[in-house]
Chain A
């Protein structure tokens, strides 16, 4: 579904991505783990056209989407739930969700998906007319995921969905990610919480200073000595 080959990205003079190779197959959950600054978010942002790619190719559903402007990417069926949630704080929950469906024209379908998101996150339905800035961190994360689903993506990119959340909430969020995947959405998950990520993923990649260094089925990665030592706390 998604194939990245030898991806290089520079921020000014800094060589941030030094050859990322990555494949996401249909209906999988793929986890991308690694330390701060390894290039996880940069990888997602270059897929979405937010960051300029210097060399390498990104292919989505057989089409080359390298350096395609971000506003064309969403309508192709790819959406990102950004790091730090980035909900629109002065807009209501409802409006935030409608912004997620910005690229769509089928009103009936949008209304259907709104109900689907509310079924997934009943809390959001209770607060649909509240501004997003007044929500708790966990609710904002739910809203960000719901907003990402509103474009009816084939592939959903999730950037650090567990960041800053209480352990119970993290479990809840991961349960929902699993559920979304079960409903047929392929997921590429970026996480620092490697334990959690590998526990729900099918396949995993470990990123180190801009390179994919280890890859394999999630179960094997969770057992891998090097990975355990570096990311899973022994």
Chain B
């Protein structure tokens, strides 16, 4: 029993150290520790989990298997959540049509693979471009004319846009589910755990896209303009930033990520249908809120947390609790830290 408590404590300390800003800045300001801080914490937490599993006498292979499943599902949530969080950061709108953009991405990928017989990478690009164009069009047609309306008007428009896309989708693609052909068949054995190639692809593509996004947001001119706009719109305009263009870029990038999620989900969970965007869209929104809405790393973290916990609940409790866990976590976070895991309450200096 004491082993269980000790290992739980170890994990808790790791999580706290990773999340608490005060201690993090204190340690990370030390140049020697700067780049070893997070890897060291992850290693420590892994040791703690390993110890815990031993103490509980759990089946480690099965647990690890579930973690792998969870991370690939989490990748999909994270990619969708990024679009929610970026759009919210710029125009304070919860774009409820975002889940349906992900659906369109899945179909674009499906047709690229089946009708056009394209390999995976070009199909991924097509899915991203199609979603991106759709996202920008939606913003131009539906949201832009409402730029100066009350926020509730915009929110209701977004819900309407979501319903429109779902229904047009049913007309266009029919409501019969389509099945993605198997693109990646291989499976590898790692320490007795079988890891499908498709899940590695999901995870790898997601990580690459996130690194690309971080670079875009932090080091490129349009990315910096996005951050500036999200922090102070009037000041951004005074810098000569074209607000309309930056908003379009934000929708383009966010929707492209959702499109990528659409095709990635198709290679692991091959059934796609026009209403497939509703639940993942909602959960990705929850993920964005859990991580701290408007904060890009928060969306990544939130997505992974939802994906992994969903899988563990399915594996160890019951699959009927699958959807409840996401919303349960949401309620918990809103009670404990309403600004989200990585959110901070910004103080204004006068």
> Chain A interface (Cβ within 8 Å of chain B)?
48-50, 69-75, 79-80, 82, 84, 86-91, 95, 98-100, 102-103, 133, 135-137, 140, 147, 151, 164
Contact = CB atoms under 8 A, between A and B. Distances in A.
Interface string B225-239: 101100110111111
B22 interface: no
Nearest to B344: A90
A82 B238 contact: yes
Nearest to A71: B242
A91 B228 contact: yes
Interface in B198-254: 221, 224-225, 227-228, 231-232, 234-243
A5 to B, nearest CB: 23
B26 interface: no
Contacts of B347: 133
B349 A103 contact: no
B186 interface: no
B240 A133 contact: no
B215 to A, nearest CB: 15
The listed residue with most B CB atoms (<10 A of its CB), out of A49, A84, A100, is A84
B349 A98 contact: no
Contact of B240 (A74, A86, A135): A74
A99 B224 contact: yes
A100 B236 CA distance: 9
Contact of A137 (B237, B242, B349): B349
A86 B237 contact: no
B350 interface: yes
B346 interface: yes
Nearest to A136: B349
Nearest to B232: A86
A70 B224 contact: no
Contact of B227 (A70, A75, A90): A90
A135 B347 CA distance: 12
A71 B350 contact: no
21 contacts: A48-B237, A50-B234, A70-B240, A73-B240, A74-B238, A86-B234, A88-B227, A88-B236, A89-B232, A91-B224, A91-B227, A98-B224, A99-B224, A99-B239, A99-B241, A100-B239, A102-B221, A102-B225, A133-B349, A135-B349, A137-B350
Contacts of A136: 349
Interface of B: 221, 224-225, 227-228, 231-232, 234-243, 346-350
Contacts of A79: 238
A74 B237 CA distance: 9
A69 to B, nearest CB: 8
Contacts, number: 78
Nearest to B347: A133
A86 B346 contact: no
Nearest to A150: B239
Contact of A50 (B224, B238, B346, B349): B238
A98 B347 CA distance: 24
Contacts of B242: 69, 71
A98 B237 CA distance: 14
A139 to B, nearest CB: 10
Closest 10 CB pairs of A and B: A74-B240, A103-B240, A86-B235, A71-B242, A70-B237, A88-B231, A102-B239, A99-B239, A71-B240, A99-B228
Contact of A80 (B224, B227, B238, B241): B238
B237 A88 contact: no
Contacts of B227: 88, 90-91
A69 B236 CA distance: 13
Contact of B350 (A75, A98, A164): A164
Most buried by A among B240, B346, B347: B240
A89 B224 CA distance: 13
A74 B225 CA distance: 15
Given A133-B346, A140-B349, A87 B235 contact: yes
Contacts of B237: 48-50, 70-71
B238 A95 contact: no
A107 to B, nearest CB: 11
A135 B346 CA distance: 14
B90 to A, nearest CB: 14
A9 to B, nearest CB: 16
Residue in B225, B227, B232 with the greatest tally of chain A CB atoms within 10 Å: B232
Contact of A89 (B240, B241, B346): B346
